[in-house]
Amino acid sequence: MSSNSAGGLVSLQKSVKQLRFEAGIRRIKVSQAAAELKAFCLQNAHKDPLLMGVPSSDNPFRPPKSCALF
């Protein structure tokens, strides 16, 4: 019984220590976080092939229409 309590105590002490750490972190305002998330998406949109579409000439997964034999 006493060893169970000791195990439970150690576990609780670790949880409290971890919670203390997490409570103490620095947090930025959501407005700033949201602005930067949105800015990143918009600034990189033109480089996002799945978003912009891939022209067949540049698509490595599409076979070329014509086949040149030398």
Partner 1 sequence: MGEMEQLRKEAESLKDEITAARKAVQDLTLQDHVAGTAVVGRVQLKIRKTLRGHLAKIYALHWGTDSKLCVSASQDGKLIVWDSCTTNKVHAIPLKSSWVMTCSYAPSGNMVACGGLDNMCSIYNLKGKDGNVKVMHELAAHTGYLSCCRFLNDNEIITSSGDCTCVLWDIETGSQKTVFAGHLGDCMSLAVAPDFNTFISGACDYTAKLWDIRDGQCRQTFGGHESDINAIGFFPNGNAVITGSDDASCKLYDLRSDQELITYQDSSIMCGVTSIAPSFSGRLILAGYDDFNCNIWDSLKAERVGVLSGHDNRVSCIGVTPDGMACCTGSWDSFLKIWN
Write out the residues near partner 1 by the rule CB under 8 A: 5, 8-9, 12-13, 15-16, 18-23, 25, 27-38, 40-45, 47-51, 54, 59-62
DSSP state of 28: -
Cα–Cα dist 36/41, whole Å? 9
In terms of CB distance, is 29 or 68 closer to partner 1? 29
Alpha-carbon dihedral 58, 60, 61, 64, rounded to 10 degrees: 70
In terms of CB distance, is 57 or 60 closer to partner 1? 60
In terms of CB distance, is 21 or 70 closer to partner 1? 21
Q: At closest approach, how far in Å is the CB of 25 from partner 1?
A: 6
Cα–Cα dist 33/31, whole Å? 6
